[in-house]
Amino acid sequence: MTRFFFLAAVLVGHAFPFSTVLRAADRPNILFIFTDDHAPHAIGAYGGWLQGVNPTPNIDRLASEGMLFRNSFCTNSICGPSRAVIQTGKHSHINGFRDNGNRFNGDQQTFPKLLQKAGYRTAMIGKWHLGTDPQGFDFWKVLPGQ
């Protein structure tokens, strides 16, 4: 090995860990808020008719500083199955969670698992309603009875 190739290999080897740290610092923070039976007209950021009745200043601030979904939907209107659809990106008949009372198969690929693989730290706090312990989260705290 020539001296040039040796020095190049050493420099590349030492630069790689620092480049991954920089890329991690450049990743955006993600806060995904998923509510139950919450119509968009009840959140001020969407400009709905309830914004003066029930102000949501903190959610509105988060929306103004980040991303606001204006054309999104879930393919199942039932609580547990809609959560499984959001987790997997798959229709209920494909992810296997069709009705409340089913048990979610957490072994399948989910959005939180993909985020973990990309270096994100993930957490789920609140209502889970999938009948199994959450997978793909570094921290989780499920409400009692969920």
103-127: average pLDDT: 96
Least confident window among 14-23, 71-80, 114-123: 14-23
Alpha carbon 86 to its chain's center: 9
pLDDT at residue 39 greater than cutoff 90: no
Catalytic residues: 79, 129
80-106 pLDDT, tens digit each: 999 999 999 999 999 999 999 899 999
39-45: average pLDDT: 86
User: Which position has the token pair 């879930």?
Assistant: 74
98-123: average pLDDT: 96
- Mean pLDDT score across all residues of the chain: 83
DSSP 47-62: T-TTTTTS--HHHHHH
Burial 15-45 (b: 16+ CB within 10 A, else e): eeeeeeeeeeeeeeeeeeeeeeeeeeebbbb
